[in-house]
Chain A
Amino acid sequence: MTTSAITGGCQCGAVRYEISEPLHDVSHCHCSMCRKAHGTLFASFGRARRDSFNLTGEQNVTGYESSPGMVRRFCKSCGGQVVIMSNDAPEVFFVALGSLDAGQSPGHAAGEEKHIFWESKVDWYDPIDDLPKVTGYGE
């Protein structure tokens, strides 16, 4: 491995993870489900191969299936959202980027970052940046 592992977890530390390679396709999601699941104006995710992702504290994780086949996994103790798992993409996790240690970068390549579900954004705050803004997943 040529780069340091990416590490993260929930606030209380009951759930920890290590990712052995950079994440991909960072998405700042403004959909109403992400807003409510996190209680925030948007939630940011990066894609990790499951093979690269090592989680400890599995017994402290619970999940909520917010839409069919899509499970948001979070810490039972502190409520920290950690990853989303989707049946449509069984080989990857979508890592909640607020859970990365020390605000570290997910390591994604330039150009692999955008706002998704921009049409669902709250109308009273715009973070203002030059990232692409797309409707839905933009696909």
Chain B
Amino acid sequence: MIFPKSPDTVNSMDVSPDNPLSGGCLCGAVRFRVDAPAAHTHHCHCSMCRKCQGALFPTFAFVNRSDFTVTQGADHLATYDSSPSLHRHFCPTCGSHIYADAAEDPDHVGFSAGTLDDGAHPGPDGELCHIFWDSRVTWYEPDDTLPRFKEFAG
């Protein structure tokens, strides 16, 4: 299983279909809406995430697919498969990685938390942690108190 916990377990009043989160890419071609808070949000230090997004640790927020809607530019998105079953969707105009999904787990998506408008928190009641911690860069290390996992965990 790719996404280890069901987001169904989170029940927050903060994010709902009546009060969704919004986000999009830098150029504005792609926009999305999130109708539920993320159950867990991971700072991923794996080399594939680093190189796909050109940053030290991309942050993914996991929600049910039914709670994630690309409201604009769905046809514009490009897809890169960093492994046979993991599909990463990005804007080909500005390069923003919007979300990823996995063939083994069709009911969930992980979206890039940095694409939320106004720096919004993807899941106020959900878990925040570091994954693939041992793959972190050699020269920078956050010293926060979040849990650190060697692999994908939740």
CB distance from B50 to the nearest CB of A (A): 4
* Closest A residue by C-beta to B28: A36
A118 interface residue per 8 A CB criterion: no
Residues of A within 8 A of B113 (CB): 39-41, 122
Chain B CB within 10 Å, residue with most, of A32, A35, A39: A39
* Closest B residue by C-beta to A130: B143
Structural contact, B97 and A38, CB atoms closer than 8 A: yes
Structural contact, A72 and B94, CB atoms closer than 8 A: yes
25 contacts between A and B (CB under 8 A): A10-B54, A32-B118, A32-B119, A36-B94, A37-B95, A39-B58, A40-B55, A40-B57, A40-B114, A64-B26, A64-B94, A66-B94, A78-B82, A79-B80, A79-B88, A80-B52, A80-B95, A81-B55, A102-B47, A104-B138, A105-B138, A120-B119, A121-B119, A122-B119, A125-B59
In addition to A35-B119, A79-B91, A79-B97, 16 A-B residue pairs with Cβ atoms within 8 Å of each other are A11-B48, A35-B114, A36-B26, A40-B58, A41-B43, A43-B54, A62-B92, A62-B95, A64-B27, A80-B53, A102-B47, A103-B47, A106-B139, A121-B119, A122-B114, A129-B141
Structural contact, B144 and A44, CB atoms closer than 8 A: no
Structural contact, A98 and B54, CB atoms closer than 8 A: yes
Residues of A within 8 A of B80 (CB): 11-12, 77-79
Instruction: For the complex, count residues of B whose C-beta is within 8 A of A.
Output: 51
Residues of A within 8 A of B118 (CB): 32
- A62–B90 Cα distance when bound, in Å, is 13
B71 interface residue per 8 A CB criterion: no
Q: Which 5 A-B pairs have the closest CB atoms?
A: A39-B112, A81-B54, A96-B54, A79-B90, A103-B137
Chain A CB within 10 Å, residue with most, of B114, B128, B144: B114
- A62–B91 Cα distance when bound, in Å, is 12
- A82–B52 Cα distance when bound, in Å, is 10
Instruction: For the complex, count residues of A whose C-beta is within 8 A of B.
Output: 51
Structural contact, A74 and B54, CB atoms closer than 8 A: yes
Structural contact, B96 and A38, CB atoms closer than 8 A: yes
Structural contact, B140 and A44, CB atoms closer than 8 A: yes
Name A89-139 residues within 8 Å CB distance of B: 96-100, 102-106, 113, 120-129
Residues of A within 8 A of B124 (CB): 124
Name A24-48 residues within 8 Å CB distance of B: 28, 32-33, 35-44
A49 interface residue per 8 A CB criterion: no
